[in-house]
A and B are shown apart, each in its own frame.
Chain A
């Protein structure tokens, strides 16, 4: 990037950067839990339901992000209760919900001939189209989710270590797990706009995985994940701007490069 380009940052680029960094900051701590608790597929399932939320938004004439949040919350609730059944393995259930929700979303949108949406933008994100209201969703919704996560931090870590042990020690496990799922659903919904439903999980897990080697405690891993997430957003935006590549995937590629590079840094163990 030339000096002039840095100095004369376009409005849309600034909003993209702000939105991307907001999402990366929220994704860091949540991503750490997704990695520790092996919830990657779970995040994917929630993200896949977003199109259904978009359809709902059009149908009810409400804000599309709100529509996505509602559908993600409903799905999280459904997943929460379906966890109690033991007939099917967890990943089979998630697979059914993920692909069922995605296809149902596409089919529903096809039934709405007046609605023309840029499917690619929903699948892979459209960070350059972020408006002020999107920024508000990211910072209020995401910020709220983050504050709630900090409030649940200690009991959530206890559950992550050993659920039964936490229960015996007086942690209200079921309630906290339910709240956590709702928060993840909210996070996924606000992240959708930036990287798209197919790539949401990558921004949760790749920075967290990169942070692992340098972290000595859970908090450090969460903070480093924020940092690596922000670096990926900045790098991806720069690359996208420079080489006219799609922005969402560019951010993910930047995150992957950081992950690979992290292995070149020696870490004392």
Chain B
């Protein structure tokens, strides 16, 4: 699975409780749309650190990196490239 597929699957099954891909748009804000709450974002961070073997620093925990599937994928790719 691609990074995007894995991230989407994680969010769909753990927060939207569905496997229907149409329920999650890649650009939609995860917080504003109510898809995830603060606990969910933290769980997403732990998921990313474990799944993609990256370490997310405090100051990287910002909406630009985490608040939509597109942002998350771009962020993970940057982190992996910098490794």
- The finding on whether chains A and B are genuine partners in a shared complex, rather than unrelated, reads no
- Please list the residues of chain B having a beta carbon within 8 angstroms of any beta carbon in chain A: none
